[in-house]
Structure 1
Amino acid sequence: MINSIRSKQAILIGAVVLLIAFLFTRDIKGLVKPKEQTSSTPAGSQMAAQAPATAEINLEEVSTAAKNMIKAPLAAEITTLETAYKSASESDKAKEAKLLAKKWDDLEQSVPSALYLEIVANKEQTLNNWLAAGDTFMKAFDNTRDSLLQPALLQKANASYSSAMKIDSNSNDAKTGLGITIVNGMGAPMSGIAMLMDVVKKDPKNLKANMSLGTFAMKSGQFDKAIIRFKSIIAMKPSPDAYFYLGTSYENLGKNTEAIDAYEKSKKLAANATLSKFIDDKVIALKNKN
């Protein structure tokens, strides 16, 4: 029984890592060195639970590391923008920070982008600015494998969504983001789940909240509930990640025929060569079990 549970956990962790690597290929290049992923690697929520009281990320260090991993002309463009930001008057800081955030985002460098969006939000405290900062911190959190940086990113996302909630406590986007950070380690998980459930109750077609509830159901081993959630998501908007998670949930329940069908649909929608090879191998393995 214990071996069976461990086996399911290994399958689940492998699936989540695969999704991050192939469907959402937005790695923080140069900020951290890739680490080997194994079934014993702490989950994001476990690492996040160890977050320090204050999240501090050095912007200059982050920028330097990121610039070392991009082409020289692009790094020069960033340096020019940084110089303009540093020399700008206080009234123009937000404008220059927006340019840097956009440039870093274009280069798929979420950490420096999020830090500049945080600067913008602090200077121009609007709901959309705090949501943009929170979403980008969460994007960085999802992509980094650095166990020291990850909790700080999650804490900054939590703070950004909390600031958004202070501006509009009825914002489903703010409540969804805040709920996700809570479940991942910034508080009692069930309070985060309750927050997401409240969003879905008010807005049944909220894809982000539904997807989060589905993945959290998987992490807690509630694969039957996860299947219901992902099928409802697919009915609203089919996506490669929803089908992949659906396939993983079916696989963990031993429903290999259904898993194969979901994996094949994920492969078709993703149109990713590496993912296609992985799914082809997985389908062969599952068919051999039947």
Structure 2
Amino acid sequence: MLNSIRSKQLIIVSAIAVLIAFLFTRDIKGLVKPKEETSKVPAGGQMSSSAAAPEPINLDEVSTSAKNTMNASLAAEITSLENKYKGAAEDEKTATAKLLAQKWDDVEQTIPSALYLEIVANKEQTLNNWLITGERFLKAFDNTRDSLMQPALLQKANTAFSNAVKIDSTSNDAKTGLGITIVNGMGMPMQGIAMLMDVVKKDPKNLKANMSLGTFAIKSGQFDKAIIRFKDIIAIKPTPDAYFYLGTAYENLGKNTEAIEAYVNSKKLAANATLSKFIDDKVVELKSKN
């Protein structure tokens, strides 16, 4: 029995790791992470109350690190904007912060982009500003493999979405984002699930909330529920990640024929060479078990 459980866990870990690595159309890939990335989070997803508070993120350090990965001309352009920001009068800083947030996003550096969006949101506290900030921090949380940075990014996303909910408690986008951060570790998972369920009840076609619930079902081993959720999602909008997660759920239940069909559909929609190779190998493996 124990070996069977471990085997299922390995299937989940490997399948999701591949999905995270190769699918480029995912919205909430960070909700389910490879085992080694979640080992520091207590069972059930809640961060330990006894754990030390996350280390503050130093914008200058993050900026320097990011600029070391890009060409000199881009780095110089960003440095010039940063110097302009630092030397600007208080009433001019917000405009430059917006430019920096966009520039960092253009070069796919989500952490400094999110930090500048946070500066903007603190100055201009609108629902949209906090939503954009929360989404960018969640994206940064998803993308980083720095286990020390992840808690701080998740906490900032949680704060941003909490501020959005304070402004508009009826906003599905705000509640969905907040629910995702809670499920990822910023509180009791069922609190986040309840929030996401409330969103789906009011907006059955909300893809982000449905995907969050589906991936949490996989993470918690509720594969039957995951199958229902992902089939509903596919009926709304077929995507490579939805089909891949569906295949993962079927595989874990030993429904290899259904898993093959879902994986192949994921391959067709993704059109990604590396993922295609993985799925081709997976199909051969599953066929050998039939």
TM-score of the two chains, using structure 1 as the length reference = 0.92
1-structure distance, mates of 2:105, 2:34: 29
Give identity over the alignment, percent: 75
Aligned to 1:174: 174
Checking the alignment, whether the CA contact within 8 Å between 1:134 and 1:158 is kept in structure 2 is: yes
Moved more, 160-169 or 139-148: 139-148
Q: Indicate conservation of the 8 Å contact 1:48/1:154, yes or no.
A: no
Query: Which residue pairs with 2:30 in the alignment?
Result: none
**1:42 has 2:38 as partner:** yes
Contact map agreement 1:110 1:136 (CA 8 A) in 2 = yes
Classify the secondary structure of the residue corresponding to 1:147.
coil
1:113-162: CA deviations, max 9, x gaps? 11111011001100010011100111111111211111111000000000
Deviations 1:5-41 (A, max 9, x none): 1111111122222222111399xxxxxxxxxx97555
1:165 maps to a residue whose letter is V
> Of the two structures, which has the highest relative contact order with CA contacts closer than 8 Å and spacing of 6 or more?
2
Residue 272 of structure 1 pairs with residue 267 of structure 2: no
Give yes or no for contact 2:114–2:133 (8 Å, CA) kept in 1: yes
What pairs with 1:180-199 in structure 2 (closer than 5 Å)?
A: 180-199=180-199
Q: For 1:219-277, what per-residue CA distance to the aligned partner results, in whole angstroms no more than 9, with x for missing partners? A: 00000000100010110011111011001111111111111111111111111111111
| Structure 1: distance between partners of 2:92 and 2:40 | 37
- Equivalent residue letter for 1:104: W
Residues 56-95 of structure 1 correspond to what in structure 2 (within 5 A)? 56-95=56-95
Corresponding position of 1:242: 242
Equivalent residue letter for 1:7:
S
Structure 2 regions of 5+ residues with no counterpart?
Answer: 27-32
Cα distance in 1 between the residues matched to 2:149 and 2:46: 9
Which residue in 2 is equivalent to 1:7? 7
Distance verdict in 2 for CA 1:195–1:55, change over 3 Å: farther
Residue type of the alignment partner of 1:221: G
RMSD between aligned alpha carbons?
1.9
Deviations 1:159-214 (A, max 9, x none): 00000011001100000000111111111111110000000000001000000000
Q: CA deviation at 1:45?
A: 4.8
Q: Counterpart of 2:247 in structure 1: which amino acid?
A: G
CA distance in 1, matches of 2:139, 2:13: 18
- 1:32 corresponding residue in structure 2: none
On the 8 A contact 2:22/2:274 being kept in 1, the answer is yes
CA distance in 1, matches of 2:187, 2:125: 25
Q: Shift in Å at residue 53 of structure 1?
A: 3.3
Normalising by structure 2, we get a TM-score of 0.92
Q: List structure 1 segments (4+ residues) > 6 angstroms apart after TM superposition.
A: none
Cα distance change, pair 93–148 in 1 and its aligned pair in 2 (3 A): same
| 1:33 alignment counterpart | none
Would you say the 8 A contact 2:13–2:35 is kept in 1? yes
| Inter-CA distance 107–204: structure 2 relative to 1 (3 Å threshold) | same
Distance 1:246 1:44, change over 3 A: farther
Structure 1 distance, partners of 2:150, 2:249, is 26
Distance, in Å, in 2 between the alignment partners of 1:194 and 1:79 is 44
CA distance in 2 between counterparts of 1:199 and 1:70 reads 40
Superposition map of 1:186-225 within 5 A: 186-225=186-225
Contiguous gaps of at least 5 residues in structure 1: 27-36
CA distance in 2, matches of 1:166, 1:55: 25
**1:78-99 deviations in whole A, cap 9, x for unaligned?**
1111112112221121111111
- Equivalent AA in structure 1 for residue 189 of structure 2: P
Tell me which amino acid in the other structure corresponds to 2:233.
I
Cα distance between partner residues in 1 of 2:12 and 2:18 = 10
Which amino acid letter does the alignment assign opposite residue 96 of structure 1?
T
